[in-house]
Amino acid sequence: MSSSPSTASRNKAPKAAAAKSFTITELAAEFDVTPRAIRFYEDVGLLEPQRVGRNRVYSQRERTRLKLTLRGKRLGLSLQEIKQLVDMYDSPSDTAPQLEAFLAVLRSHRKQIELQLEDIRVTLEEIDQHEERCKRLLEAASAPAPAAKRVARA
C-alpha cells in the first residue's frame, strides 16, 4: 500500500516543525551584536526571518547567514560584498562565475590589508625610534652632573 501525497506531506511536517529556530534576542546574545544590528541586516536584505505574529523567527539558514555577515564585516568587506558572499550560501557551490567574482573581491581586499599592514609596520618602527630617543633624553636629564661642574659652582 503506497502512501498518498497528503500522507507524505503530513510525515514531513513534524520534521520541518522540529527544525531549530532562534529569536532575535538569542542570536544577538550568541553573536554579541545588538538586536538593532540584526534588524539592520534584515533591512538591507542579508537576513529574511519568518514572522510569527509580530515576532521574528530565525531559522538555521538565517543563523548561518548572520554568521557569514559578521565574518565578512570582520574582514572589512562592504555590505555589497557581504551580500554577495551570503547569497552564495544559498546558491549551488559549483557556480564558477560567482566563485570567481568572490575570489576577485577577496584578492582585492587582501591587497588592501597588506598595504595597511605595511603602513602599520612603518608606524611601529617610527614609534620604536621615538621611544628610544625619549628614553635616552630621560637618562641624560636624570644623570648626576659631572664633578668638575659641581666644583665650579661652589
- Whether 6 shows a pLDDT value over 50: the answer reads no
Q: What SS3 class is residue 154?
A: coil
pLDDT digits (tens, 9 = 90+) for 23-43: 999 999 999 999 999 999 999
Amino acid 94: pLDDT: 63
Give 19's pLDDT tier (boundaries 50, 70, 90): confident
- Whether 72 shows a pLDDT value over 60: the answer reads yes
Mean pLDDT, rounded, for 69-87: 87
Angle 111-113-114 from CA coordinates, rounded to 5°: 65
Q: Going by DSSP bridges, is the β-strand pair 55-59/50-52 parallel, antiparallel, or unpaired?
A: antiparallel
Higher pLDDT, 114 or 143: 114
Angle 147-149-150 from CA coordinates, rounded to 5°: 65
- Whether 150 shows a pLDDT value over 70: the answer reads no
pLDDT digits (tens, 9 = 90+) for 38-69: 999 999 999 999 999 999 999 999 999 999 89
State what percent of residues in the chain have pLDDT above 70: 79
Angle 120-123-129 from CA coordinates, rounded to 5°: 145
Amino acid 128: pLDDT: 97
What's the rounded Cα separation, in Å, for the pair 85 and 90? 9
Residues 55-90, buried b or exposed e (16+ Cβ, 10 A)? Answer: ebebbeebbebbebbbebeeeebebebbbbbbebee
**Global pTM value:** 0.60
Higher pLDDT, 86 or 56: 56
